[in-house]
């Protein structure tokens, strides 16, 4: 069945003064006919998959997948054939849409190495040709700092000459450089917190730090659409995990009430800690966390809040300080502020920010702090230079201009796609823009047709999304000019007509120039 979706297209919320600005998100319900045809499409693919597996068993069709050797047939199976069914028979049909190798800076345009497959995507061979100047609508280069010229590149090159590439040690041993100390002070200042700690990998920042914060006897309340790194960290912690519906404050409050009233299972003892896990921007839905409401509930029920700002830091807020800045909230209301440098800063790694006591504790108890190699010095300098630019400490207004450009690009691109008749998910201020494809055949077709038109896009299907909610995911950047966006929109419009992707039954009524009450709903149907 389809996930329940609100029929509301334009939803502006103030919620009794919690919100200082309109909160506007759109999640149009999947049309019934489209849902039925999507299930039928997957059904047909599944039937043909079983047929092909039968032909492979009879050795009529060549088998490319990994199989057990004959002499190991009595051993416990290493490869579960049924578990790999989707990969063999569905994913392989459209595998050419992923892992495309680029050979340039991931800026507004990229160069892609052309490749071909002669065995139905089981393997690829490079032709030696380069597809040049492909419009890049997939990279998380939100503020355009992924570049090989300019202040960031020059600063990183200078540090490379002085420090080299690798540190070859952990922070606790002999890998703690003055550059690392400088970065952490700058991050704390940028976030408005007492202290911060940096890590070499964004994924590990979540997966290795959550187990250091909670354990057995603790309760984690996690949004159902949280990133895999948060899910893994929660599972590794040994804490009890309960899931609340995405961005649904009624669901979260019910779990909090039950946790307070009933305590731990069997013993009924109070939970040692209750930790709420949320993201700033959800990278598949394009939605923004209802942070004012989450903070209100956290304070009401005396819970802790862990905020993952991987996609929102740099990309949201008038000063680029993320979702806390976007809502005009106090950073002290968030107990653990996590983010990554891999997106808006054009680098790699992640950070945790918060009280000094928290950071001092993590320095000695976090696995990613104790055992992982330190950040590479040129990468540190890339982060420092780009962050100073965002903060205006470089003496220019470039950072502020990039933030404003990203916001303008986001609203323009989302509005144009909705006007064309596509179903677009998420918040109007989110630079992550999901365009719904639904049917399995259209996943591969959309990616290929766009590349034919010199536009690189990311298409996403099951298991990264629910099985009937396949989508293309565009990521806007401050590096995108209006000319680039108009070119992309023209081609998207053409491909949308070709593949019949304009499923929306609604048209938007602009509410931006009129006063709003606490909750305004507006919907029209053609």
Per-residue pLDDT of the chain (526 residues), as tens digits, is: 344 444 443 444 545 478 877 888 888 888 899 999 999 999 999 999 999 888 888 888 887 776 667 777 677 766 666 567 888 888 888 999 999 999 999 999 999 999 999 988 889 999 999 999 999 999 999 999 999 999 999 999 999 999 999 899 988 888 899 999 999 999 999 999 999 999 999 999 999 999 999 999 999 999 999 999 999 999 999 999 999 999 999 999 999 999 999 999 989 999 999 999 999 999 999 999 999 999 999 999 999 999 999 999 999 999 999 999 999 999 999 999 999 999 999 999 999 999 999 999 999 999 888 898 999 999 999 999 999 999 999 999 999 999 999 999 999 999 999 999 999 999 999 999 999 999 999 999 999 999 999 999 999 988 888 888 999 999 999 999 999 999 999 999 999 999 999 998 875 544 333 333 333 333 333 3
The answer to whether the CB of 512 falls within 8 A of the CB of 503 is no
Query: Residue 370: its pLDDT value, please?
Result: 87
Q: State the pLDDT at residue 63.
A: 73
Contact 114, 124 (CB under 8 A): no
Tokens of 199: 């890590």
Say if residues 406 and 142 touch (Cβ distance below 8 Å). yes
Residue 317: CB atoms within 10 Å: 20
User: Which tokens belong to 384?
Assistant: 């420092």
Q: Sign of the C-alpha dihedral, residues 313, 214, 270, 266? A: positive
Beta strands in 260-367 (DSSP E): 274-279, 304-308, 336-340, 350-354
Contacts of 451 (CB under 8 A, 6+ apart): 112, 131, 134, 457
Strand 455-456 relative to strand 274-279: parallel, antiparallel, unpaired? unpaired
- Coil, strand, or helix at residue 353? strand
Residue 81 has a pLDDT of 60
Determine the pLDDT at residue 10: 44
Per-residue pLDDT at 325: 96
């Amino acid at each position: 069945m389809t996930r329940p979706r609100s029929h509301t297209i334009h939803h502006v919320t103030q919620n009794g003064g919690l919100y200082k600005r309109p909160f506007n998100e759109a999640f149009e319900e999947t049309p019934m006919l489209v849902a039925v045809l999507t299930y039928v499409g997957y059904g047909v693919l599944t039937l043909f998959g079983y047929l092909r597996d039968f032909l492979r068993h009879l050795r009529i069709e060549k088998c490319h997948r990994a199989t057990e050797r004959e002499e190991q047939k009595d051993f416990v199976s290493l490869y579960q054939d049924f578990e790999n069914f989707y990969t063999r028979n569905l994913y392989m049909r459209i595998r050419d849409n992923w892992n495309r190798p680029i050979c340039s800076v991931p800026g507004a345009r990229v160069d892609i190495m052309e490749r071909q497959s002669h065995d139905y995507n089981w393997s690829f061979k490079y032709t030696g040709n380069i597809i040049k100047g492909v419009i890049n609508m997939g990279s998380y280069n939100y503020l355009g700092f992924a570049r090989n010229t300019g202040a960031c590149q020059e600063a990183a090159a200078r540090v490379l000459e002085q420090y080299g590439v690798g540190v070859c040690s952990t922070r606790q041993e002999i890998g703690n450089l003055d550059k690392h100390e400088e970065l952490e002070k700058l991050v704390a200042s940028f976030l408005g917190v007492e202290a911060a700690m940096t890590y070499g990998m964004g994924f590990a920042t979540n997966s290795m730090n959550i187990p250091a914060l909670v354990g057995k006897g603790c309760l984690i309340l996690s949004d159902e659409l949280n990133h895999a790194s948060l899910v893994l960290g929660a599972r590794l912690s040994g804490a009890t995990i309960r899931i609340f519906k995405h961005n649904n404050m009624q669901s979260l409050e019910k779990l909090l009430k039950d946790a307070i009233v009933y305590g731990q299972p069997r013993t009924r003892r109070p939970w040692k800690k209750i930790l709420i896990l949320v993201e700033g921007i959800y990278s598949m839905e394009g939605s923004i966390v209802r942070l004012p409401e989450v903070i209100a509930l956290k304070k009401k029920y005396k819970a802790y809040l862990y905020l993952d700002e991987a996609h929102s830091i740099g990309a949201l807020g008038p000063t680029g300080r993320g979702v806390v800045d976007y809502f005009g909230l106090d950073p002290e209301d968030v107990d653990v502020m996590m983010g990554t440098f891999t997106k808006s800063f054009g680098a790699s790694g992640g950070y945790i920010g918060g009280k000094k006591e928290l950071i001092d504790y993590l320095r000695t108890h976090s696995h990613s702090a104790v055992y992982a190699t330190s950040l590479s010095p040129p990468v540190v300098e890339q982060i420092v230079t780009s962050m100073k630019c965002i903060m205006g400490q470089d003496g220019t207004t470039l950072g502020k201009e990039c933030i404003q450009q990203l916001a303008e690009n986001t609203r323009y691109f989302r509005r144009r796609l909705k006007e064309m008749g596509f179903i677009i998910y998420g918040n109007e201020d989110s630079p992550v823009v999901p365009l719904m494809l639904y049917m399995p055949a259209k996943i591969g077709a959309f990616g290929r047709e766009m590349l034919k038109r010199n536009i690189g896009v990311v298409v996403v299907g099951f298991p990264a999304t629910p099985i009937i909610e396949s989508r293309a995911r565009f990521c806007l950047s401050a590096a995108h000019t209006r000319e680039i966006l108009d070119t992309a929109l023209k081609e998207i419009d053409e491909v949308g007509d070709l593949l019949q992707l304009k499923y929306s039954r609604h048209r938007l009524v602009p509410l931006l120039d009129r006063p709003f009450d606490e909750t305004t709903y507006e919907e029209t149907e053609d």
